[in-house]
Structure 1
Amino acid sequence: MPIRIFGDPILRKKAQTIENIDGSIDQLAKRMMESLNQARGLGLAAPQVGHSKSLCIINLPLMNEKIKQPLVLINPKIHLREGEVNYEEGCLSFPGIYVDVKRPQKIALTGLDLDGNEMEYEAGDILARVFLHETDHLNGVLLIDHLSTIKRQLLKNKLKKLKQE
């Protein structure tokens, strides 16, 4: 599945809640995992592959042995945000762009797995950052939305080039 690049309108839309977890959701998750592996990313949200569904995949197996990965998360909700840390982030929808983003250091979230079971997770550091980044995508929030006007202005030419591709 091709990854949608900045400028694609689906990236700005709030993803639809998944009401029924069926074979089509399972297939979407499998195809997303293939795309994520091919792109060598850490996470991928359904809107990034053109589907307005509240589904994301996280794959950081060496970062957190307590959470089985790859992790498919449906309808995720962040319930706790603690601390704050600034760290460089990239995004598969913004190829070649890396920026410092301030995010909570620790989070707690809930969501469903592919069997419809409610799951609860606590995460810190990089894993928390990836969860937050992917849930941002599900809400139509992009990496650049975390930047100051000045920093966004500095990226203007790169962003314009991405939109034209």
Structure 2
Amino acid sequence: MPMTAQVIVEKKKLDNPPLEIHYLGDRVLRQPAKRVAKVDQSIRQLAHQMLQTMYSADGIGLAAPQVGVNKQIIVIDCEPDNPENPPLILINPTIKRFGQSICDAQEGCLSVPGVYLDVKRPVEVEVAYKDENGRPQRLKADGLLSRAIQHEMDHLTGVMFVDRVENGLVLAEELQKYGFSTQAVKPFKS
């Protein structure tokens, strides 16, 4: 597991997180993110603020478009209660390989608070990315980490997990219950 060296974030909730999370229906969530040309201190600062915002919202992943930043950066921490486990920062991530097995599991999203629905995704994934120091990395992941990587990477292409939900009736009920419009969903065709 790659170690995060330069971005140290205390895993705690802040009363005033540094970034504002955008919600389903906001156009910023549908724009494809641009590649990061150079990994520098401003990118590390953004990743730091993204992590603070994610921890403050009780999340395990956050993509830059969710905080209104059109850059290919995602942060993930599948163990937010474990101070020994460093978070992952993935810059310009690309999926190199998907595993053969597909799994249906419940997902939620900080941009669609309260809504948790089943989504089918490959169980395993291999991803290439740059770390917060600009060094190329590769990571093979399965289980929750694999799902979190795929979910956050979808945000970089303007896809949201609700777009992948197959049960339209349950989707409509859940969105309505939490005040979201089904008009904001763009069904994903793979």
Selected match of 1:70 from 79, 87, 90: 87
Cα distance between partner residues in 2 of 1:129 and 1:89: 9
Match of 1:40 in 2: 58
Distance of 1:11 and 1:114 partners within structure 2: 23
2:102 counterpart letter in structure 1: E
Q: Between Structure 1 and Structure 2, which shows a larger proportion of strand residues?
A: 1
Q: What is the DSSP-based 3-state SS (H/G/I as helix, E as strand, rest coil) of the residue aligned with 1:17?
A: coil
Identity %: 38
Question: What is the one-letter code of the residue matched to 2:90?
Answer: L
Which aligned pairs between 1:98-109 and structure 2 lie closer than 5 A?
A: 98-109=116-127
- Counterparts of 1:75-86 in structure 2, within 5 Å, are 75-82=92-99, 83-86=101-104
Tell me how many residue pairs correspond in the alignment. Answer: 157
Deviations 1:108-158 (A, max 9, x none): 010001111000000001110000000001111001110134443334524
Q: TM-score, normalised by structure 1?
A: 0.89
> What's the CA shift for 1:69?
2.5
Letter in 1 for 2:87: P
Pick from 149, 157, 161: which aligns with 2:176? 157
Q: Compute the RMSD of aligned alpha carbons.
A: 1.6
Shift in Å, 1:80: 1.0
In structure 2, give the amino acid aligned to 1:56: I
Q: Distance in 2 between matches of 1:60 and 1:72?
A: 12
**Cα distance in 1, alignment partners of residues 172 and 136 from structure 2:** 41
Structure 2: gaps spanning 5 or more residues: 1-18, 182-190
* Kept after mapping to 2: 8 A contact 1:36/1:42: yes
CA contact (8 A) 2:124 2:140 kept: yes
Question: Structure 1 or 2: larger helix share?
Answer: 1
- The TM-score with structure 2 as length reference comes to 0.78
